[in-house]
Amino acid sequence: MTPRKLSRGVAVVGAGMSGFGAFPGLSTRDLFVDAFLDMRRSIDQGLDPATIEALYLGNFSSSAFEGQGFIAPLTADAVGLLPKPSTRVENACASGGTAVREAMIAVASGLYDVVLAGGIEKQTDLPIARVTDVLATASDTQYEGPAGFTFPGLFGALATAYMDRYGATPEAFMRVAIKNHDNGAVNPRAQFGKRIDDIMAAKRAAAERKGRTIPDWADELEFLADDRANPVIAWPMRLFDCSPVSDGAACVLVVAAELAAQFTDSPLHIVGYGQASAGAAHDRADLTSLSATRDAASQAYAVSGLGPADIDLAEVHDCFTIAEIMATEDLGFFDAGRGWAAATDGATGRDGAIPINTSGGLKSKGHPVGATGVAQVVEVWKQLRGEAGDRQVPGNPSLGLTHNLGGSGQACVVHIFQRRS
C-alpha cells in the first residue's frame, strides 16, 4: 500500500528529551516536564505554549508500570496545556513513533497548526520479573506466553534463525553492542554513557578492590564472550545484546510547514512516512526478516521519492542487537543476509556508509518504551542541524530516517526527515 501524499506540508521545529535511565522518586509527568523544557530551549525563535493546540502522547503501559491510567490529560496538565485535547497513543514499543505520525496527520489534515507529540514510560519502579511480564503482554499471550516466550526468547529465536540461514556469528551481535555503547558514551542523555572498555575497566577495578582475581580480557569481544561478565539471557542473546529497563520522556513540536519559519530557520520537513502491521512471531513463515518494517519503509520511500541510498543516517529500533541487523536489511540499506557483515565491517559506524543509532540506540541510550520512537526523532533533529556534538555525523547530513518497532515486529512506523536550509 502506498500512502497518499500529505495535503499540507508538515515540519518538526523543536525537539527535546529527559535523561534516560532509572529515576526513583520521579514520575513520568516529572520526566515529561524535563523533556518539554528541553524542547522549548531547542526552538530558535522561542515558543509560547499557548500556541500548542493538541497533545498526542505515546505510552505503552502506565497503568501497569506506575499504577496510573488516563495519563494523557495529567501529562498535559503538568506542562500547562489544559484545556487543549490530549490523547494517549498505545502501539507497544512503537507508541512514540505512532504518536508522531498521529500529530503529523492532525496537522496535515488542517485540523491543527501546532501539535505536541510526546512519549513517556516509567519502568524501573517494578521488580525486573514484573517488568518482564508487563512487556510480554505485547507478544501473543494466547500462544507465545503459554509456550514460555518472553521478549529475550522471541528475539533469541529470530537470531537463531538468522544465524542458521546466513552464517552470522555471535561476534556480529557483539559488534553492534560495542558500536552503540561507543555512541552512547558521547550522548549526555544516554542511560549507559560508557563504552564497553570503560565497563571492563570498572569491573577490573572492582575485582582489585575486593581482592579477587583481576580479569585479563584481551579486548571487548573476549569480555562479551565471557559467560560470567556477559551471561546468556536467551541464546544467542546475552546481557549486552539486550536494551535496558528505562525511565524517560521525549517530545517534538510538529507544525504546518508554512508556519515553520515562525519557530526556526532550520526545520526538519517530514517527507516520508509509513506504518504497517504484521502477525505474531509464532505465525510467520520467515523469522529472518520483519514484514512490517519492509512494508512501512516501502511506503515511506514511495511517498518521498527517495530510496535507501539517499538516507544519510538512521535511528533504528535495536531492542536487541539482532533487531538492528535485521532492520538495516529490511530498510534496504543492505541486502538480505548482509547486515551482520556490515555491522562487523564498521559500515554502520558514525563514519561508515550508513551511520546507525548515533544516539547509542535503545541498547545504550535506553528504552523507556513509549518515549523511544520520539527520542529517535530528537536524535535526527540534532544530527541534521549539526548539533550532536562529539557524536556528530560528518558531511553535513540532510536526510534522516527513524524506525520504531512494536512487539516482535507486529507494528512498525518509519519517518524520513529532511533539512532543506
Active site residues: 93, 367
Give CA–CA dist 340/161, Å, rounded: 13
For residues 330 and 419, is the Cβ–Cβ distance under 8 A?
Answer: no
For residues 360 and 181, is the Cβ–Cβ distance under 8 A?
Answer: yes
Q: Which residue has the cell 516536564?
A: 33
Nearest by Cα to 334 from 347, 346, 321: 347
Nearest by Cα to 152 from 34, 33, 242: 242
Query: Which residues on neighbouring strands pair with residue 116, listed in sequence order?
Result: 55, 253
Cα 415 to chain centroid, rounded: 12
Nearest by Cα to 293 from 414, 374, 399: 414
Give CA–CA dist 337/323, Å, rounded: 13
Give CA–CA dist 235/355, Å, rounded: 27
Q: What SS3 state is found at 243?
A: coil
Strand 237-238 to 86-89 pairing? unpaired
Give CA–CA dist 227/413, Å, rounded: 35
Kindly state the cell numbers that stand for 275. 506504518
What single-letter DSSP state applies at residue 141?
Answer: T
Question: SS3 sequence, 71-136?
Answer: HHHHHHHHCCCCCCCEEEECECECHHHHHHHHHHHHHHCCCCCEEEEEEEEECCCCCHHHHHHHHH
Sign of CA dihedral 284, 300, 114, 106: negative
What type of residue is 145?
G
Query: Which residues on neighbouring strands pair with residue 118, listed in sequence order?
Result: 57, 251
Q: Which residues contact 310 (CB under 8 A, 6 or more apart)?
A: 399
Kindly state the cell numbers that stand for 81. 496545556
